[in-house]
Amino acid sequence: MTDLCDLTAVELIEAYEARTVSPVEATRAVLERIEKIQPRVNAFARVDADEALRQAAQSAGRWARGEPRGLLDGVPVSVKDILLLRGGPTLRGSLTIPEDGPWAEDAPAVARLREHGAVLLGKTTTPEFGWKGVTDSPRHGVTSNPYDAGRTAGGSSGGSAAAVALGAGPLSLGTDGGGSVRIPASLCGVFALKPTYGRVPLYPASPFGTLSHVGPMTRDAADAALLMDVITGADWRDWSQLAQPTGGFRAALGGSRGGLSGANSGAHSGALSGLRVAFSPALGGVPVDAEVAVAVRRAVGVLAELGAEVEETEPGFSDPVEAFHVLWFSGAARVVQPLDAERRALLDPGLREVCAQGAAYSALDYVAAVDARMALGHTMGRFHATYDLLVTPTLPITAFEAGVEVPAGSAHRRWTGWTPFTYPFNLTQQPAASLPCGLSSQGLPIGVQLVAARHADALVLRAAHALYEAGLADAVRPPAPGAASASSNSARPAGS
């Protein structure tokens, strides 16, 4: 019998419809999985098992009557501890936030989950206020990688990535202000989409402004499309939200998840026919690990086999890290501005450093960063007049030691030094996804990033779905829960 924790959300809904599985059975299995993995990876900040089982029982009753509430009725879902979840505290990884409520409001995307009958498991871990690209915090400690507990899960949605990778619910909501769903997705071997800014309503507004997006973290692109059809519902609390998309994301996928006998099978050879793809292996000169480079190039080869017209080229911009730092560090400074000296002493030391830097910027510095951002957006707009997709590595490296901001020996002090492929597309607000494309010789996941023009979220999902159907990610599986390290993973290495 298939382990219920291995089923995708799409497969769970099919099983509920067929009456072969109940939401209570699925939720119990996921809660047992959480108990098993939590000591190893620390993916959850809070789990409310009683409430999850209550919701599952209600869902089971609806399915028994043939009256499911919505698209996710009975599917277990977790929520990053940045987003409000009614009934419990949202602590954002910080000792500065008191647990007393009232906690009476859901974030817009969480409200849509509830309306569609999802079973809400609890909150996943995040670095303090989601400020960096790894997941450790003064409040909840270090979150580890599902493939090797001594390595980082990435961040800032690291708890969500680890949970999804290890079967602790097929769906999770993350946030992404500089790569925060794509970074951990790449390091943990799962799928993540940063949608076009405003596509998923956000409330309260992020202190990081229009850099921060809410996005799905899932097993595959089909589950992400299903989740997007739920969380893109309108919410008046976000004044910057986009209009509800027409047609739906699942309908735009094409194909079926039956899978192929191998990535070179011709069964779906025309799935991406005519798609214009630009492949940038180093985004103008980023040093990329050799195994990462091989795996990403292999993924691009699969795109070509699926009918895409691939050209190796560069989008033509220089690293916008300084502009990003001004905007990001200023936002961090705004987060802690209300705190007195006693509470500031409780902050992550690295966060205190970037807040001090952010507070030192002038208004002119900020406006100059906005100017740089607009110029970058113009460059990418022109680029996408020629190319439908830009493909890059998601990260230039695989997972490194847990509990540190940068890899040992790095020339950089901050997490942006090893994430140059992700934060540019927060500046431009474009949709960007990461999906697994292989494993390193150490058994660690490698991610490939797909980027499209603003509003072309459905295109990113369709291309990613075609890659899943072609079997690109089939070899990327974490060790069984309870396994000690990546060395026990027998999946084939990248490029093999």
Catalytic residues: 80, 156, 180
Integer Rg of the chain from CA:
21
Six-digit token pair at 150? 């001594």
Six-digit token pair at 417? 């030094």
Six-digit token pair at 349? 């030391």
3-class DSSP state of 49: helix
HSE-CB for 370 with a 13 A CA cutoff: 10
Residue 462 region by backbone torsions, left for phi larger than 0, else alpha for psi between -120 and 50, else beta: alpha
Gap between the Cα atoms of 279 and 302, Å rounded: 12
Partner residues linked to 312 by β-bridges: 279
Gap between the Cα atoms of 291 and 397, Å rounded: 9
Gap between the Cα atoms of 489 and 147, Å rounded: 8
3-class DSSP state of 192: strand
Q: What angle do CA 334, 402, 216 make, to 5 degrees?
A: 60
Residue 156: cis peptide before it, omega within 30 degrees of 0: yes
One-letter identity of residue 327: L
One-letter identity of residue 236: W
Measured in whole angstroms, the distance separating CA 72 from the mean position of its chain's CA atoms is: 19
Residue 42 region by backbone torsions, left for phi larger than 0, else alpha for psi between -120 and 50, else beta: left
One-letter identity of residue 1: M
Gap between the Cα atoms of 27 and 92, Å rounded: 25
One-letter identity of residue 332: A
HSE-CB for 151 with a 13 A CA cutoff: 23
> Residue 218: which H helix or E strand, with range?
strand 213-218
Gap between the Cα atoms of 248 and 269, Å rounded: 24
**Is 488:474 a contact under the CB 8 Å cutoff?**
no
One-letter identity of residue 311: E
User: CB-based contacts of 107: which residues, under 8 Å, 6+ apart?
Assistant: 79, 83, 84, 85, 202, 203, 204, 214
